[in-house]
A and B are shown apart, each in its own frame.
Chain A
Amino acid sequence: MPKELEPGSHESPDDSSSTAHTLELLCHLDNTAHGSMACVAWEPTGDGKKVISLADNHILLWDLQESSSQAVLASSASLEGKGQLKFTSGRWSPHHNCTQVATANDTAVRGWDTRSMSQIYCIENAHGQLVRDLDFNPNKQYYLASCGDDCKVKFWDTRNVTEPVKTLEEHSHWVWSVRYNHSHDQLVLTGSSDSRVILSNMVSISSEPFGHLVDDDDLSDQEERRPEEKSQEPPQDSVIATYEEHEDSVYAVDWSSADPWLFASLSYDGRLVINRVPRALKYHILL
């Protein structure tokens, strides 16, 4: 990648809130020594001063100083192994006080501790082919979703990485992006180059496997509704909806940070589609 393209790529999220029209170069992450950059990720919480960037086989932790105008390389680690190892994607875990980062290279998923910059876990052959994207469950600290070129979406418990907790095989081509809903982590969004977006309901491995338990207690005075609730109790993981509005490969999907029921997907032909979670499901989750 040409170097001049890179600053823009990581500045836009930072500045979009303040200046909508012109982009201003705040600082430059100097990566000349490390090769082309594949991914940049901010610390999810905290003061926004830490950035991880993945370049070829290096993982670099930057410290942004002097109101983000200067980036200092705080620490780095590199992946050693035979052949050319390249990171394809990375994700900062929102748990553990933001000390964990997960990265993907080829078919493996690795976890890193940012304090020591050492590897804490490694899922070899997480996918049959290239791993394209990762996402952490925002409510369950050890749960991680990954997707890749084998058309599968896999859910992992990072404490036991020998077997995936769950595997979805709904797409018919590479899955490029996977995202947990920020507040209701049973909702999982995936985008694929078969030009479909799929919204799945992974109740069984979510943080609310039995629905809203608090509500259940509130309703306890209404004797009638309880058996009904009970009958729905064993929830099934299912595909909620498949969105086929895109004509070409979908490369990115994400949830709205403002409205938890809103999500957008972007495809190759430049089409951005915004969808809502189906109303019935929304009420089912809320009530």
Chain B
Amino acid sequence: MGLVNFMRQWRSGAKEALERTAIVAKFLCLLHVTNTYLCSPTLVYGPSMLPTLNLTGDVLLAEHLSPRLGKVGSGDVVLVRSPVDPRKMLTKRVVGMEGDRVTFFVDPLHTDRCQSAVVPKGHVWIQGDNMYASSDSRHFGPVPYGLIQGKVFLRVWPPYGFGLLEQ
């Protein structure tokens, strides 16, 4: 008698726990879907995009629709998976699209030498705004378009930098 009651209570308790977990899981799913396909916040840090982005860290909003629709162009700041380390994400500016001829300073710290390259089909040329401290296409070459994960459109933190990024 006591056992049956216990089982009944346990079952209703488990059912309620399952329902609550399902609600949390659905919320997390929705958050994940929004993050992956619509818009996601990212923390970026490092000197390679000075003065556009700060050294110590900015929170940016990046949208993920533009790369899929092919709407990424020159001058956009993009999130791109590093071709050198696939676990790292870089934030750089697209300087040239496929077919463009890009002229760049090879090593501005030491020399004034310029070099020119044509961006091959299906690739983009990315550079950090701070060319003195940026590891980008000048070092690892043009990057396949398929590695672009998102386009940055808004800075959210720090508060004094809130707003669209400069072109």
Are A and B physically bound partners? no
